[in-house]
Amino acid sequence: MTAVAELMDYADVVERFDPVLGLEVHVELNTNTKMFCGCPNEFGGEPNTKVCPTCLGLPGALPAVNGKAVEGAIRIGLALNCEIAEWCRFARKNYFYPDMPKNFQTSQYDEPIAFNGYLDVTLDDGEVVRVEIERAHMEEDTGKSLHVGGATGRIHGAEHSLLDYNRAGVPLIEIVTKPIEGTGERAPEVARAYVSALRDLLRALDVSDVRMDQGSLRCDANVSLMAKDATEFGTRTETKNVNSLRSVERAVRYEMTRQAAILAEGGSIKQETRHFQEADGTTSPGRTKETAEDYRYFPEPDLVPIAPSREWVEELRGTLPEMPSERRKRIQREWSLSDEALRDLLNVGAVDLVAATVEAGASPDDARGWWVNTLAQEANAREVELAELAITPAQVAEVIGLVTSGELTNKLAKEVVQGVLAGEGEPREVVEKRGLKVVSDDSALLAAIDEALAAQPDVADKIRGGKVAAAGAIVGAVMKATKGQADAKRVRELIIERVGS
Residue whose C-alpha is closest to residue 205's, from 68, 84, 89, 306: 68
Give the pLDDT of residue 1.
Answer: 42
The confidence score (pLDDT) of residue 100 equals 84
442-500: CATH number? 1.10.10
Determine the pLDDT at residue 203. 92
For the chain, what is the largest distance between any 2 Cα atoms, rounded to a whole number of angstroms? 97
Q: Which of 122, 121, 119 shows the shortest CA–CA distance to 343?
A: 122
Residue ranges per domain, the chain? 10-292+308-312, 323-405, 442-500
Contact 254, 283 (CB under 8 A): yes
What residues in the chain have per-residue pLDDT under 50?
Answer: 1
For 42, 134, 147, 463, the CA distances from 51, given in Å and listed in that order, are 11, 33, 21, 78
260-266's contacts with Cβ under 8 Å and 24+ in sequence apart are 260/8, 260/12, 260/13, 260/16, 260/17, 260/225, 261/5, 261/6, 261/7, 261/8, 262/6, 263/17, 263/225, 263/227, 263/234, 264/8, 264/16, 265/6
Select from 229, 299, 226 the least CA-distant residue to 256.
226
Residue 489: the pLDDT is 67
- Do residues 347 and 124 lie in contact, with contact meaning Cβ atoms separated by under 8 Å? yes
Which tens digit of pLDDT belongs to each residue from 97-141?
A: 778 888 899 999 999 999 999 999 988 888 999 999 999 999 999
Cβ 169 vs Cβ 38: under 8 Å = no
Q: How far apart are CA 245 and CA 251, in angstroms?
A: 10
Burial classification of residue 203, based on how many CB atoms lie within 10 Å of its CB (0-12 exposed, 13-18 middle, 19 or more buried): middle
pLDDT score, position 241: 87
